Structure 1
């Protein structure tokens, strides 16, 4: 996931930051797991809607995710 520079320190191929390749790799594994879980619920469940909770916490989680995405876009733009 990364390469070593002339001093032997590991750095990310994408960002050049030391150690960031580990975090990116773990995030990719976690995202893949979430995708596979959602796909299995959609394909193999009798009623996929049963796997979605009807609580207000879901709305807060969606709002939080949207704010994180917005913050990331603002960081990239600025």
Structure 2
């Protein structure tokens, strides 16, 4: 059976979903993430240099002790 709507009620139009962030806010968030990643990368690099410097200092002390032992 075919149903016919004779009341002529208005059809609801499909609405576009509103983005949670505007274009400016998205750009700000992305730039903040990039800056945060850069700061984290530089921090890790600085920390690894400190670790490597401590290891080299330990090796220098050991080499100096070995040289002193061999001289005597």
The TM-score, its normalising length taken from structure 1, stands at 0.38
Structure number with the bigger relative contact order (C-alpha 8 A, sep ≥ 6) is 1
The TM-score, its normalising length taken from structure 2, stands at 0.41
The higher radius of gyration belongs to: 2
Question: Hey, which of these two has a bigger chunk of strand by percent?
Answer: 1
